[in-house]
Amino acid sequence: QSVLTQPPSVSEAPRQRVTISCSGSSSNIGNNAVNWYQQLPGKAPKFVIYYDDLLPSGVSDRFSGSKSGTSASLAISGLQSEDEADYYCAAWDDRLNGVVFGGGTKLTVL
Amino acid sequence: QLQLQESGPGLVKPSETLSLTCTVSGGSISSSSYYWGWIRQPPGKGLEWIGSIYYSGSTYYNPSLKSRVTISVDTSKKQFSLKVSAVTAADTAVYYCARGRESYRGAFFDYWGQGTLVTVSS
């Protein structure tokens, strides 16, 4: 059971927009920055959003992040087949004194 | 371009100690701007943070693994290492090493190794 809660899977058609939610508590998301990682099949994770809503250099601006209270979201617009991957949210947890990950969300582009 | 490469045995016997090394190239391992971490992923499952080591030498471990884990750094070799003692089949996973960046806003892992599969089996 992960400390951060994500839906196991989401799916959407190409060129549409999808959002992936990440729910936590005051000891993690509520008090610390959220980061999002994309893991393509058979590959290492790659950060696509950091500090809640910042886009790393080289990552498509179709990706965006937001946070409100103890929940965060990753949005991907103009979906492409190359976006099919597992997505993980992560944050520092003050109570556990460590990094916690969400269980991951598998994105399928229909 | 910074690169991280994990190395170590791919097969470990139950009750023994798993030892992995991460070699850093293309950048400094001694900068106070960064820290170094280990994350693992059991087959077909999600990511689990194992622990991190900072420039100061401070370490933070996942509470669920703390009693069995040690992370250390050898700056002269540009390597950091992971040891997990008394392993069981539940420790079978792909193990990733990663570089962390930290600021007043928070922390995240910006560079990851390709990962190495460690299987615990007799």
Q: What pLDDT digit, counting tens, does each position of A67-85 carry?
A: 999 999 999 999 999 999 9
Residue pairs between chains A and B whose CB atoms are closer than 8 Å:
66
The whole-number average pLDDT for the span B96-121 is 94
The tokens of A1 are what?
Answer: 């059971």
Q: What pLDDT digit, counting tens, does each position of B37-53 carry?
A: 999 999 999 999 999 99
B29: nearest Cα among B82, B89, B77? B77
Instruction: Say yes or no for a CB contact (<8 Å) between A35 and B108.
Output: yes
Whether residue B46 lies within 8 A of chain A, CB to CB, comes out as yes
The pLDDT assigned to B105 comes to 81
**pLDDT over threshold 90, residue B56:** no
pLDDT confidence bin for B57, thresholds 50/70/90 = confident
Paired sense of beta strands A105-109 and A9-12, if any: parallel
Whether residue A3 lies within 8 A of chain B, CB to CB, comes out as no
Q: What are the two backbone dihedrals, phi and then psi, of residue B120, each rounded to the nearest 5 degrees?
A: -100, 115
Whether residue A40 lies within 8 A of chain B, CB to CB, comes out as no
Angle at CA B12, nearest 5°, toward B5 and B114? 20
Choose the closest CB to B63 out of A39, A45, A96.
A96
The tokens of A33 are what?
Answer: 């920055």
Instruction: State how far residue B83 is from chain A, nearest Cα, in angstroms.
Output: 18
Strands (E), A1-110: 9-12, 18-23, 34-39, 46-49, 63-68, 71-76, 85-93, 98-101, 105-109
Instruction: Say yes or no for a CB contact (<8 Å) between B109 and A104.
Output: no
Instruction: State how far residue B76 is from chain A, nearest Cα, in angstroms.
Output: 27
Contact list in A for residue B115 (CB cut-off 8 A) is 44
The whole-number average pLDDT for the span B88-108 is 93
